Structure 1
Amino acid sequence: MSRIIYSWLLFPLILGLVLAGCGESALSSDSGSSGGGKVVRIGYQKGSSSLLVLKSQGTLEKDLKQLGYTLQWTEFQAGPPLLEALGAGSIDFGTTGAPPPIFAQAAGADLVYVAATKPSPKTQAILVPKTSDIKSVADLKGKKVAVQKGSSAHALLVQALEKAGLKYSDIQPVYLAPSDAKAAFEGGSVDAWSIWDPYYAMEVAETGARVIADGESAGLANRSFYLASRKFATEHKDAVDAILKALEGAEGWSEAHRDEVAKLVSSQTGVDEAVQREVEHRRVYGIIPVSDDIVREQQELADLFYSLGLIPKKINVRDAVLPEYQH
């Protein structure tokens, strides 16, 4: 647990590396237009289906061009490094699961929530190898579990352990990014892996890994959030509103065209199309305002992380919510 606190306390150094392009967390940067003027920089992940639909179709680029903006996309392995980049000012807008903004806010990042998604509890899971003797979460006592620190899968692990009657200290968390966790999992140096889609679906398809818990069985909502730097959200509300409008359209279209979404996303990420179809068919679509209930949900998660010593201080989630994006 001390490692995760230490990492977040050192995140200004990490931010500098992100800005310098020295880390592997920012996987790629693709400028939607080479024109000058105002630029909107969006961070996404392999699981950011709606943003990937917009990227593939070029819809958002056209909408923002009408407002005088050009568009730049950057891919990240996970939510925590994406928000490190947001805090550093190298991107303006992005999407992550519920825990990353909590960890970022606790580390002093000046971000704001601008929208939420409907919960998708089945899109993350705790996996064990096909031949493992581990049959349930209770069997994880004393075992090594790989997880991306501060990610949605971290919340799943915490919640699943609590529901099984285990303490977080009953396991040995091994904090690894997805690519490193995959190698550790398949190499046998960890006993289990808490991970989200599409990595979850990919691992099951490739190795026959077994699921011992998912968000539904753990009682975890597992919703995502769209976030922006406070400066960008307040000074470029027209751009934020255009992005959210485009995302609403993409979510509606995607719900009715799941197989087409899988094809589009696969072409952007390299994830096998059949695997991506599995992801899209268990995903719940819908973008919604950040309601009081959602703020309370986030606050409960933040308080849980603090009680476990996973974040260095208490936070007030509402401090990161602007009134114009709350209903």
Structure 2
Amino acid sequence: MVTTLAPAGAAAPALVKVRAGIVAAIDQLGVPVALDQGFFEKWGLDVTIATPYPTGVDQLNALQAGEIEMGQVGVPMIGAVLRGMDLVIVGNYSGSAVKLGGDDTMALVARQGSGIRAIRDLKGKRVAVSFGTISHLYILGILEKAGLSVTDLTLVNTPPGEMPVALRGGAVDAFATWDPWPVIALADVAGSFEVVRGGGFIGFMGFNVALRPWAERNQETMEKFLAARAEADKFMRAEPVKTAVISTRWLTGLRPEVALRGV
């Protein structure tokens, strides 16, 4: 990045305002970290982040409604494009370039007394997922690998943030979703345990997205946004403890020591 000094008395260039959205998930922390560490401002952007959305579906609805201009989303983007939403992939924030199944931030968590010890034990059980999201795709991948069908169990459509509560209360026997909700459940729901974490059942990819008309008008802004995000990624790899602390300001109910397990 090339910077120039403004003449004495001259006003500094105004920061470009961007309204961004994220999902309440550990792998979405790059945007809050970039804001917290001043990387957006460094690149000439004034970024505001909406209250984290429960799922990517909710975030895409907000993007369509004009509440935000850039978002981060995975599987729901595919369905939105197929239904005619004019989205542009600006960049990639999650996934692996070297392996097909990059689902290490996903887990299937069961409660004590559920009768579940292995994937094959899901038959006849109630499992919470968020329909239309990577959570839904993950459980479908698990079932396929185990030779089970969705008709062999009951899938309960549940927002990720409510899954630990549903597990504690016995409303479901297990849930499948992304961090931090599995690590929160392990910390807060006595006797809960991971039946499986990751497993290579699906390819987990996440994308920075915008609506096409906005993207075409703001190409330089998008490049700066991605540059700041790249700096945030580097920071998160180098400073997991500080990243965990930052995460607690954005993900409700998350404690630093619990967040660190998912960072």
Alignment-derived partner of residue 77 in structure 2: 101
Show the 5 A alignment for 1:223-234. Answer: 223-234=205-216
**TM-fit CA distance, 1:194:** 0.8
**TM-fit CA distance, 1:183:** 2.7
**TM-fit CA distance, 1:59:** 2.1
Q: What is the distance in 2 between the residues matched to 1:44 and 1:264?
A: 14
* Local SS of the residue matching 1:87: helix
**TM-fit CA distance, 1:260:** 1.7
On the 8 A contact 2:16/2:221 being kept in 1, the answer is: no
Higher-Rg member (1/2): 2
* Local SS of the residue matching 2:165: helix
Within the candidate set 247, 251, 258, 1:275 is matched to 258
Alignment-derived partner of residue 43 in structure 1: 21
Question: How many residue pairs end up in the alignment?
Answer: 239
Q: Residue 86 in 1 paired to residue 66 in 2?
A: no
Structure 1 unmatched runs, 5+: 1-35, 281-327
Alignment-derived partner of residue 155 in structure 1: 137
* Local SS of the residue matching 2:124: coil
**TM-fit CA distance, 1:37:** 9.3
Deviations 1:126-165 (A, max 9, x none): 1110232111222112222111112211111010000000
**TM-fit CA distance, 1:52:** 1.4
Alignment-derived partner of residue 64 in structure 1: 44
On the 8 A contact 2:39/2:231 being kept in 1, the answer is: no
On the 8 A contact 2:22/2:72 being kept in 1, the answer is: yes
More divergent stretch after superposition (77-86 vs 108-117)? 108-117
Pairwise CA RMSD: 2.0
On the 8 A contact 1:87/1:111 being kept in 2, the answer is: no
* Local SS of the residue matching 1:121: coil
More helix by share: 1
Which has the bigger relative contact order, CA under 8 A and spacing at least 6?
Answer: 2
- The sequence identity of aligned pairs, in percent, is 29
Q: What is the distance in 2 between the residues matched to 1:149 and 1:242?
A: 33
Q: What is the distance in 2 between the residues matched to 1:148 and 1:52?
A: 24
In the superposition, the TM-score normalised over structure 2's length comes to 0.84
Q: What is the distance in 1 between the residues matched to 2:212 and 2:72?
A: 15
Show the 5 A alignment for 1:212-231. Answer: 212-215=195-198, 217-231=199-213
Deviations 1:67-119 (A, max 9, x none): xxx432102122110011112222111112x3111122233222121222233
Q: What is the distance in 2 between the residues matched to 1:62 and 1:125?
A: 36
Q: What is the distance in 1 between the residues matched to 2:77 and 2:21?
A: 14
Change (3 A) 1:169 1:87: farther
Amino acid at match of 1:51: V
**TM-fit CA distance, 1:46:** 3.1
Show the 5 A alignment for 1:109-148. Answer: 109-116=85-92, 117-119=94-96, 120-148=102-130
Show the 5 A alignment for 1:177-196. Answer: 177-196=159-178
Within the candidate set 48, 53, 64, 1:76 is matched to 53
* Local SS of the residue matching 1:91: coil
